[in-house]
Amino acid sequence: MTRFFFLIKMGLKNIVRHRRTSWPLVLSLFILISINLGILLARGNINLALNLFTSHARIEVILEKGLSSEAVSQLISSLKEESLTEIRSMTYRDETENLNAFASQDETLAEAVALLGENPLPPTLTIQCVMAMESLPHISSFAQNLKKKEGVSEVIYPGGWFARLYQMARGADVFFLILLGALFLVTFILWVSIFKATLYPLRDEIEIMEIVGGTKLYIRTPFYLESFFYALLSLAGALALLRFLFDSLRDYFPDLRFLTTEELLPAGVLIILLALLGTEKAINRFFK
Amino acid sequence: MIRMSHLYKTYLKTWPALKDINVTINDREFLFLTGPSGAGKTTFLKLIYGEERPTRGELYVLGKRVRKMSHRQRALLRQKIGVVFQDFKLILTKTVYENMALAANVVGLSPSVAHKRILEALSDLHMSHKIKTPVYQLSGGEQQRTAIARALVTSPRLLLADEPTGNLDPSLSSTIMDLLKQINAQGTTVIMATHDYHLVGRYPFRTIEIDGGRIRD
Ligand SMILES: Nc1ncnc2c1ncn2[C@@H]1O[C@H](COP(=O)(O)OP(=O)(O)OP(=O)(O)O)[C@@H](O)[C@H]1O
Ligand SMILES: [Mg+2]
């Protein structure tokens, strides 16, 4: 235990001692971590925007003209029987309501409508639904069935469009993941080489610790501690920067969401793990 | 304590630095290792504390076979050996105290025991006034005494001293010799390499002379 405390003290002293050589390490790590976390943030918000967007999807069902109200309520109850969880609500509007809604958009339209002898609009049923990626097939088949129902003349369903949107989003996601992976790799390689450079002036120190009988673990401990501190420092710096950028962006996009704990925790752990592993790799070079 | 049989050490596959060494060093012995510069004295010591591995032959140190030691086993062996290096091997940016505290901590001494021993060793070597001085600010002789103090602070069973008086004036030299003698009397085996034949002649200890990598009788 006393050995361990001594090593902690030594690690802390080393941090102070190496402050001149360690700042490029911290700075480059800070930049890389900022980019990493920035990508993570962008990815999270794209998904958020997508969810927001797709949870307000609509299926417009155009009904046959002159459909009786019994037929309409029969249709609605038959749809309700299918009890699709994605459906949030259904709104029925008859011919007159549709015409009024149409006329109320604009004064000239209102005048035009007044000139019409007969209402050309059909009654409609609007189905609000959540179009999450996984529910797309359900809704698709639901819409197909809808077309075959009695009293339905047309179904306007943006399924293909959503499918394409999801494809794009998934492509972006994969791209982001690859980018993240590549950046983490770069971070690791950079960390190893900079740490090696930081350790180079300390090779005598390492040799001496080795020669007075220090085991590998013993010698590494203060350096682990040091790099843990640097990683933490860079991480904190990157988070502060990101938070600042985020707050200024939020003035324009109030719906932006910051990194969640589920995103932040693994990323933080990974970065610290990376730092320790990099330290290990760098320091192994100096053992005889 | 140490046994070497038909031991060879060849650097760079050329001329062997040590040839066919057969020596047994007993527990509590005080041994001088003499010979001209380049004879192989430092190499002899390096083999004992495991900085170099024998090219051929057998070597046992403190009952352990040195040849196939793992990094960890070697570290544990080194913790039982105090070494005064010819080139001191001190951490220049750290203070005298920190250098010694590191060695004490490696072998697992508690800070209070370490502190006491460091003060004792430094006072024995007339170095107490430099305790907080970084090593790079010390003179050659002061560095040498720090190196000796560091080797003693762990109370090793075996002390290897490579030219421990090389940078010291005659009066300090005899202080060091008295100290080494005293440590030896307390039970530590001491092997001291030197090319100071006058100094060797003044003490009654066994002397091994190496020349051109061979032991001369
Ligand atoms: N690392 C090395 N690589 C190659 N040759 C070496 C190495 N170390 C020592 N030698 C050679 O081995 C021989 C013995 O060297 P060693 O250092 O053991 O001599 P020494 O007796 O300690 O000399 P000195 O009294 O000058 O310290 C020398 O010829 C030296 O050049
Ligand atoms: Mg020598």
> So what's the ipTM on this one?
0.86
User: How much is the pLDDT for A16?
Assistant: 83
Ligand 2 centroid to Cα of residue B42, in Å, is: 4
Place of tokens 């032991």: B215
CA distance B51 to B65: 14
User: How much is the pLDDT for A74?
Assistant: 84
Which residue has its alpha carbon closest to ligand 1 atom 18?
A: B40
CA distance B17 to B7: 11
User: How much is the pLDDT for B209?
Assistant: 94
Place of tokens 């010799």: B177
> Who among B89, B92, B110 is closest to A211 (CB)?
B89
Yes or no, beta carbons of B49 and A204 under 8 Å apart: no
Yes or no, beta carbons of A10 and B83 under 8 Å apart: no
Nearest ligand, CA of residue B84? 2
> Who among A5, A17, A214 is closest to B75 (CB)?
A214
Chain B residues with CB inside 8 Å of A10's CB?
Answer: 102
The dihedral region occupied by B88, where left means phi > 0, alpha psi between -120 and 50, and beta the remainder, is left
Q: Highest mean pLDDT range out of A43-57, A65-79, A270-284, B133-147?
A: B133-147
Ligand 1 centroid to Cα of residue A247, in Å, is: 66
pTM above 0.90, yes or no: no
Chain B residues with CB inside 8 Å of A213's CB?
Answer: 75-81, 103, 106-107
CA distance B59 to A275: 41
Confidence of residue A201 (pLDDT cuts 50, 70, 90): confident
CA distances (Å), B156 to each of B72, B79, B84, B216, in order?
Answer: 18, 8, 12, 29
pLDDT tens digit sequence for A60-88: 888 888 778 888 888 888 878 877 777 77
Yes or no, beta carbons of B89 and A208 under 8 Å apart: yes
User: How much is the pLDDT for B46?
Assistant: 95
Task: Show me where the domains of chain A are located.
Answer: 2-52+165-284, 56-129
Indicate if the pLDDT at residue B100 is higher than 90: yes
A255 CB-near residues (< 8 Å, 6+ apart): A48, A49, A52
More confident residue, A49 or B127: B127
Interstrand relation of A57-63 and A124-129 (parallel, antiparallel or unpaired): antiparallel
Q: Which of A118-127, A225-234, B136-145, B180-189 has the lowest mean pLDDT?
A: A118-127
CA distance A153 to A139: 18
Indicate if the pLDDT at residue B15 is higher than 80: no
User: How much is the pLDDT for A29?
Assistant: 85
Q: Residue A90's beta-bridge partner residues?
A: A127
For B110, nearest residue in chain A (alpha carbons): A2
Ligand 2 centroid to Cα of residue B18, in Å, is: 13
- CA–chain centroid gap for B133, Å, is 23
CA distance B149 to B101: 11
More confident residue, A9 or B149: B149
Yes or no, beta carbons of B103 and A6 under 8 Å apart: no
- Encoding tokens for residue A127? 């189905």
How many beta-carbon pairs below 8 A join chains A and B?
63
Indicate if the pLDDT at residue A20 is higher than 80: no
Ligand 2 centroid to Cα of residue B52, in Å, is: 14
Chain B residues with CB inside 8 Å of A220's CB?
Answer: none
Indicate if the pLDDT at residue B210 is higher than 80: yes
SS3 B103: helix
Contact between residue B27 and residue B1 where contact means Cβ atoms under 8 Å apart: yes
Alpha helices by DSSP H, listed for A55-135, are 69-81, 95-103, 107-115
User: How much is the pLDDT for A62?
Assistant: 85
pLDDT tens digit sequence for A255-273: 788 888 888 888 889 888 9
Yes or no, beta carbons of B75 and A207 under 8 Å apart: no
User: How much is the pLDDT for A263?
Assistant: 83
Q: What is the mean pLDDT of chain A?
A: 83
Chain A residues with CB inside 8 Å of B83's CB?
Answer: 211-212
Q: Which of B11, B162, B191 to mutate to test the pocket of ligand 1 (most atoms within 8 A of CB)?
A: B11
pLDDT tens digit sequence for A98-152: 888 888 888 888 888 778 777 888 888 888 888 777 777 888 888 888 888 888 8
CA distance A131 to A127: 12
